[in-house]
A = this chain, B = another copy of it.
Amino acid sequence: MSGPILVVNPNSNAAVTEGLDRALAPFRLPGVPDIHCLTLEEGPFGIESQVDSDAVVMPLVRLVGDRRDAAAIVIACYSDPGVEACRSVARCPVWGIQEAGVLTALSRGDRFGVVAIAPVSIARHRRFMRRMGVLDRLAGERALGVSVDESARGDSTFALVEEVGQALKSDGSDVIVLGCAGMVCHRAPLEAALGIPVIDPVQAAVAMAWGTVRCSFPAFGGSG
């Protein structure tokens, strides 16, 4: 029998975790695997810098080491903190949401754009995308220039999100990735406004995790 997919919010803001929980409702169906969203208690209230991101790595490693029951783990922060370390100690697959969001985008368009929250994150994301070897397909990354909290509010910030999305489309993007764990409320409206696919990275990671877990157990028929 399969354990749950753990989706870990590495900041200590429980409201973000609740948002993840709602965003993942489509994956909750009768039958395994279940989806559990957790808050990393040791995390900062928000992860907004390289130091914030590095500060949660060891707590994540301990959490992952403790949860031997997990069928899959998703680290729900766009900086993908500790993904490699967690992979080295986990008994199950581990996904980072930047990685999963970008890879899913590459299945939907030829050149992708990223909506970042803060300008300071762009260089960090770019280093990560270069490490992934996918820079030839990046059309551009642009920042909203708001706080993480503001970025997650649907109505009041959508106009800004759409403006950045249009700029990314002008850069040549034919698919957009939302560059934060808490922007799912903008996914469908932005897709409608731009007429090109918009990827929520948490949903993208959980889809990969869900499919992998479902197909890994003979009882589910994957390789019967």
Interface residues of A (CB under 8 A from B): 22-23, 25-27, 29-31, 49-51, 53-55, 57-58, 61, 82, 84-85, 87-89, 93, 95, 99-100, 103-104, 106-108, 110-111, 123-124, 126-128, 130-137, 174, 184-189, 197, 200, 203-208, 210-212, 214-218, 220-224
Bound: A64/B54 CA distance, A: 15
Beyond A29-B30, A54-B54, 11 additional contacts (C-beta under 8 Å) are: A22-B221, A29-B29, A84-B124, A103-B104, A132-B137, A133-B136, A184-B222, A188-B216, A203-B211, A203-B222, A207-B212
> Who on chain B is nearest to A28 by CB?
B221
Task: Specify which chain B residues have a CB less than 8 angstroms from the CB of A26 in the assembled complex.
Answer: 211, 214-215, 217, 220-222
Q: Kindly report how many copies of this chain are found in the complex they form together.
A: 6
What's the least CB distance linking A192 to chain B, in Å?
Answer: 10
A206 touches B197 (CB 8 A): no
Known contacts A26-B220, A187-B222, A223-B185: does B208 contact A107 (CB below 8 Å)?
A: yes
Choose one: B103, B130, B216; the contact of A103 (CB below 8 Å).
Answer: B103
> Who on chain B is nearest to A89 by CB?
B51
> Who on chain B is nearest to A105 by CB?
B103
